[in-house]
Amino acid sequence: AQSVTQLGSHVSVSEGALVLLRCNYSSSVPPYLFWYVQYPNQGLQLLLKYTTGATLVKGINGFEAEFKKSETSFHLTKPSAHMSDAAEYFCAVSDWISGNKLVFGAGTILRVKS
């Protein structure tokens, strides 16, 4: 069975600092990996995803993530945090076998301090 572990339920950074949100996955076949963001009182929006090909994936709002098979990781980064990045971030996994079932991590709340 697939699973996702997000390290750190809360992360706090200063405005302008590096954002690093950690995600490790478990999958018996090559995974599809996703990062979604949820702003307060809203549904989720896709930031970026990896299916095949280039392991460094660029998404919206300056975020990127790198698929590292050897480390079973898909960490999300942004070079410089902005106040508007404050939200909850979810890592998720599926694969070509269970492509209709997306498994989410528990989420990481990002706080950006001025």
96 CB neighbour count, 10 Å cutoff: 11
**By CB under 8 A, residue 32 contacts other proteins:** yes
**By CB under 8 A, residue 60 contacts other proteins:** no
| Bridge partners, residue 99, by sequence | none
Query: Looking at 14-22, 40-48, 64-72, 77-85, which segment touches other proteins (CB under 8 A)?
Result: 40-48
Please give the Cα distance from 6 to 108 (Å, whole number): 7
Q: How many residues bind other proteins (CB under 8 A)?
A: 26
109 CB neighbour count, 10 Å cutoff: 15
What tokens does 69 get?
A: 């098979």
Interface residue with other proteins, options 8, 16, 79, 99 (CB under 8 A)? 99
Using CB under 8 A as the criterion, which residues of the chain lie in contact with other proteins when the complex forms? 4, 9, 32, 34, 36, 41-46, 49, 51, 90, 94-96, 99-107
